[in-house]
Amino acid sequence: MSDNDFDDANYDEYESSSDIEYNQDAPQDPVISEEKENNSEKENLPQIRRISPTWKYFNDKMSQYPGRPVCCKCQKVFGKDTGISTLKRHLSSAHKIMIENVKSTLTNQSVLNFKWVDSWPEKEK
């Protein structure tokens, strides 16, 4: 497409901004409305059971910071959406406390011993 192709364009077929009708009932700031909806959705979600041993070192029921994890050792406050990895890293770097992963502490997992089979034919080796 060359620059001259734009000269031939028919701009009359496009609506001018004065022809556009606005919905007066729609929220004026959709970003704020979406944030409010997301916050209300989070409030309606059931509490997730926390199984990580990391939570032994954090309290999220303090009246000054409701729902925010607070370190029981140094009183550092974290955000509501802070992940468990960040909390573990804080314990490791600030307090030299190492927390094992829950998956590695499970003892009821079976180990399957399969016979090893070489999938390459002898000719291709």
pLDDT tens readout for residues 30-43: 454 455 555 555 56
How does pLDDT run across 42-59, given as a tens digit for each residue? Answer: 566 566 666 789 999 999
Q: What is the pLDDT of residue 18?
A: 47
pLDDT at residue 97, rounded to an integer: 93
* Among 102, 68, 72, CA closest to 85: 102
pTM for the whole structure: 0.46
> Could you tell me the maximum CA-CA distance found in the chain, to the nearest angstrom?
77
Rg (CA), the chain: 29
Pick the closest to residue 96 from 79, 80, 74, 81 (CA basis).
74
Q: Residue 89, Cα to own-chain centre: how many angstroms?
A: 17
pLDDT of residue 14: 46
DSSP state, residue 87: H
Task: Give the whole-angstrom CA distance, residue 81 versus residue 68.
Answer: 8
pLDDT at 15: 45
